[in-house]
Structure 1
Amino acid sequence: MARTETTRDRTDALRVDHYPTRVSDTPQLLERSEPTTRGGVDDGPLDQAALDAFEQNGYLVLPEVFSADEIAGFRGRLDELAADPAVRADERTITELESDQVRSIFEVHASDALFGRLSADPRVADVARQLLGSEVYIHQSRVNVKPGFVGKGFWWHSDFETWHAEDGMPRMRCLSASVTLTDNYPHNGPLMVVPGSHRTFVTTVGATPEDHYKASLKKQEVGTPDHDSLHELIVGQGREIRQLTGRAGSVVFFDCNLMHASSENQTPYPRSNVFLVYNSVDNGVEEPFAAPSRRPQFVAATTWQPVPRG
């Protein structure tokens, strides 16, 4: 039967895909076509040295932004949520593939008042506005729990690859803020990053299955780079891998296209964080670029109400 052209087909044909991925059998390394840092020193709390560091490396660590008392409050609330049967039964809660312990709780800025206030806290949101050069909205939020001994890792990936392919995010005008709720040691599965990798977009192969998010939130396979591409990105281009360790209460800001990963936690020390994705209001999502349908609202917001200034 001949395929009938739809309005969506005609719309997709007119728009430009600046970062095509999951459309070829051969992966590619594409040069980024836009700036990383959009704002200046007069637009927020960061000085020029910090802005330059984010532009060059694709990430920035601000140590101990939140006090010990504040972090204790966040951790206590996270423990309450993880133990709540209603929360565990909610589709926004993702459990570990093998242990069934809570791995992540999504859309936490909307479902919980304390984490909602955190998402609008000027110590985080003002930095996001400055780096992105605009008002921002929350594209995604979650609390991540990496329990001692059973917390699994995340394979190397660029968040933008998924947000572009599956959520329809058109450009790289987005960043993540990770508020650390526990001390990050080299041995308890801290975030690993490749400085400078945000300037290269690594395409991936393999079509996106229907409802891919249900599997990928536990263990992502489609949308992850192949070994040869990673070798070229890191070794071939003379880059290094850094572990981001530090005290609880620090905030790690990193560009949406920064290549990053974390290993499993084989120690008794948990590693938890609040993960806030700030997208520019001028970069609202469209139809997915390489997926049969949108992911649900709790994974990828389709409305972009600006984060209130406080």
Structure 2
Amino acid sequence: MARDIARAPMDGAITDVPGIRVGHFTETRRPTGCTVVLAEEGATAGVDVRGAAPGTRETDLLDPANLVDKVHAVLLSGGSAFGLDAAGGVMRWLEERGIGFQAGPACVPIVPAAVLFDLSLGDHRIRPDAAAGYAACEAASAMPPAMGSVGAGTGATVGKLFGQERAMKGGIGTASMRIGGITLGAIVAVNAVGDVLDPDTGEIVAGARDPEGRRPIGAMAGVLRGELPPRMQPGMATTIGVVATDAVLTKAQCRRLAGAAHDGLARSIDPIHTLHDGDTLFALATGRSGVPGNMMALGAIVPHVVAAAVLRGVRAARGMEPGPPAASELG
């Protein structure tokens, strides 16, 4: 049954959710970029931040006890904390179109954001900025977004438990599923300390390689054999993403949905939520279906959709210079 859920119905994209558009900006000077998830009509939102080294913006606003109940975009970016600058470009793009929270004479777009660490690839002084965020909005579409080494997934790597030199390429992936008259989708930029696993088979799709770099060895298997990880700096990884539905949800329900979505990371990445990851997932509800969300069903299905997005992103990735090889290149 689990295999049937995880495989067949999730070859779509987060843009299958009515009211959601996605755009990538991919930097050409080094492996980095950003991805924007637009909800221009406004979407109820929640967030769940895990791991010990997050880089985020406007997450406190999403607490159900706080005032603003709609967001207009979520930004996922490379560049570590510097990449948060890209959210300013998303705000400018939305403001130019009169989209935002009316605050006196101003229309203030609400743009939460999260970043991942990719500064070890190429010139770290090149990172997404406001112009990159604006360009991602210009590129946004309701068509299925590209996956792999694009947008926020451009500089993503996985399997870094034994160092970047033994890692493999990560990427950004998306998936969706339709159940009970509603659509649920996810987009995830996979940049993890841990290995990426197929939860159906236990197969290592991408992860820490042997010292010769020929094949994935299984990071946790290495630890259990007594190969201890070297010292790492906090914030060297982080997987970030967005889940979205057209169901009608409250802010509190969105936060619960974001929490359940992390189970999808736990299904497909091992280890997850480490000292060196700042894993952050947002949840958006556009309400376009008019159907109240069944939280039991959504909470049960969302881990499968997130895990499918993780696998699709890593399998679509390609190696680039500088950087480690992709799963498709090891054969």
Normalised to the residue count of structure 1, the TM-score between the two structures is 0.26
Q: Which has the higher strand share?
A: 2
Tell which has more relative contact order, 1 or 2 (C-alpha 8 A, sep 6+): 1
